[in-house]
């Protein structure tokens, strides 16, 4: 691809200070982060001057001025002004207040196409509709008053990942996602958990790698993709999503697990305030969580409805004691009420972000529960799971899985979880 129609000419005295380059150039000056290589995404030019805006990593930007003079030719100014938005450029310049002309070379290291599938301005605007990703109307919608840049649909954003991911908002979301993973790992590592890496390819349905690994360790965790075999086309569902799982021994009561997970999530929220203050605007300060049983939650909704929110004043709450009918065979029944389980869900802004509880560790009880659910105890996958408890013995344990994409989406008050995945996978989307 040609960098521009006309490169430096042979008689241009500044020909060694600009043009296209295939390999990164060795810079004589000290490199300084804007960062070292910026992305040119806005440029205007006049006869003897060219203004460029250089951007890197989302919100980092600086304006540059190229002015014809003793070491900068008019041809160089014209060439800089001809560069298309989103070129990757290497700039050797002096960073200071513009009190005098600056002698600076500039080279284009990665040319951008003549036209972009999605402009940076559109990529940085909110999506238009997110009710169902594949049913979003394509095209120009929801123009803001006085704006010449149309808002794009969710499908347009996802279908143009190169530009979407370069938008400052998308990069901020990505930074928050990475930070959540780091905070989770730091927290569990500091409390003696060991990393477990379960396989993604298996011969039968699985209830999670950590459930099996607990036979060999008292505290384990894993972070990896999970796949949903459901035709779920909603703003809170992905076919492939990342889960941060942990399992641990229960010493006295399964609320040890609940409290650990609660403290972990609140720790993540508080750390995000500190580590990502440049990426996000805080929407709440985590306080004491609301913890109620599933039955009490149903009662509140029937009697009070959404108005009950005014009494609790929180977007983070826990529902405990889920009904036996709503939980899988491995959920431990409440010894005082076998109609409910020692299982819980955590919610943010009305959406589930974590599911967990105490697992059955006694093989006879587990086999009985498997049969009660209408599953054969010798069926593929189930037999191997049951054998762990029969052959080795397992301490009382419990755990939970945190949906990484959902935590990021609802913490940032985003309209859909699809904006948090690097490459969203849904029942109707495998590309790009």
235 assigned to active site: no
291 assigned to active site: no
Environment class of 248 (CB within 10 Å of its CB; exposed 0-12, middle 13-18, buried 19+): buried
Tell me the two tokens of residue 22: 């295939």
Choose, from 228, 235, 291, 425, the residue flagged as catalytic.
228
Choose, from 237, 327, 361, 369, the residue flagged as catalytic.
237
Nearest-5° Cα angle at 410, 417 to 309 = 135
Q: Checking phi first, is residue 313 left (phi over 0); if not, alpha (psi -120 to 50) or beta?
A: left
**For 347-396, what is the HEC assignment?**
EECCEEEEEEEEECCCHHHHHHHHHHCCCCCCCCCHHHHHHHHHHCCCCC
Pairing between β-strand 194-195 and β-strand 219-227 as defined by DSSP bridges = parallel
Choose, from 141, 352, 368, 425, the residue flagged as catalytic.
352
Q: Count Cα atoms within 13 angstroms, Cβ side, for 125.
A: 21
Element (H, E) at 157: helix 154-159
Choose, from 61, 82, 174, 355, the residue flagged as catalytic.
355
Three-class SS of residue 399? strand
355 assigned to active site: yes
Tell me the two tokens of residue 68: 């014809």
228 assigned to active site: yes
369 assigned to active site: no
Choose, from 164, 327, 359, 406, the residue flagged as catalytic.
406
236 assigned to active site: yes
Q: Active-site residue numbers?
A: 228, 230, 236-237, 352, 355, 406
């Amino acid at each position: 691809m040609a960098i521009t129609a006309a490169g430096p000419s042979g008689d241009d005295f500044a020909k060694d200070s600009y043009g296209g380059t295939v390999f990164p150039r060795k810079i004589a000056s000290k490199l300084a982060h804007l960062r070292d290589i910026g992305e040119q995404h806005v440029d205007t030019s006049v006869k003897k001057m060219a203004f460029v805006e250089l951007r890197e990593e989302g919100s980092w930007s600086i304006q540059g001025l190229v002015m014809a003079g003793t070491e900068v030719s008019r041809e160089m100014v014209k060439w800089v002004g001809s560069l298309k938005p989103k070129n990757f450029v290497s700039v050797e310049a002096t960073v200071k207040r513009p009190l005098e002309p600056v002698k600076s070379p500039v080279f284009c290291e990665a040319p951008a196409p003549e036209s972009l599938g999605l402009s940076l301005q559109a990529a940085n605007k909110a999506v238009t509709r997110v009710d169902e990703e594949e049913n979003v109307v394509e095209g120009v919608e929801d123009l803001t008053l006085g704006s010449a840049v149309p808002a794009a649909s969710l499908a347009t954003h996802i279908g143009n990942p190169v530009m979407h991911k370069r938008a400052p908002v998308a990069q901020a979301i990505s930074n928050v996602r990475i930070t959540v993973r780091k905070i989770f790992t730091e927290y569990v590592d500091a409390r003696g958990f060991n990393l477990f890496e379960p396989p993604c390819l298996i011969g039968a349905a699985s209830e999670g790698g950590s459930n099996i690994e607990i036979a060999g360790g008292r505290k384990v965790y894993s972070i990896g993709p999970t796949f949903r075999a459901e035709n779920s086309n909603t703003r809170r569902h992905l076919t492939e999503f990342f889960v941060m799982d942990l399992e641990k021994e229960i010493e006295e009561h399964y609320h040890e697990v609940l409290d650990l997970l609660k403290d972990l999530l609140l720790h993540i929220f508080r750390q995000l305030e500190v580590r990502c203050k440049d990426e996000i605007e805080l929407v709440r300060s985590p306080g004491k969580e609301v913890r109620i049983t599933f039955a009490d939650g149903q009662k509140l909704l029937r009697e009070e409805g959404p108005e009950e929110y005014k009494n609790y004043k929180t977007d983070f709450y826990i529902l405990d004691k889920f009904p036996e009918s709503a939980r899988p065979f491995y959920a431990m029944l409440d010894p005082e009420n076998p109609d409910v389980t020692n299982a819980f869900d955590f919610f943010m802004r009305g959406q589930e972000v974590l599911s967990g509880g105490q697992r059955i560790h006694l093989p006879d009880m587990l086999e009985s529960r498997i049969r009660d659910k209408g599953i054969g105890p010798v069926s593929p996958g189930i037999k191997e799971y049951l054998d762990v408890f029969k052959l080795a013995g397992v301490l009382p344990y419990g755990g939970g899985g945190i949906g990484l994409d959902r935590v990021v989406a609802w913490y940032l008050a985003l309209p859909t979880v699809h904006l948090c995945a690097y490459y969203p996978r849904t029942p109707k989307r495998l590309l790009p």
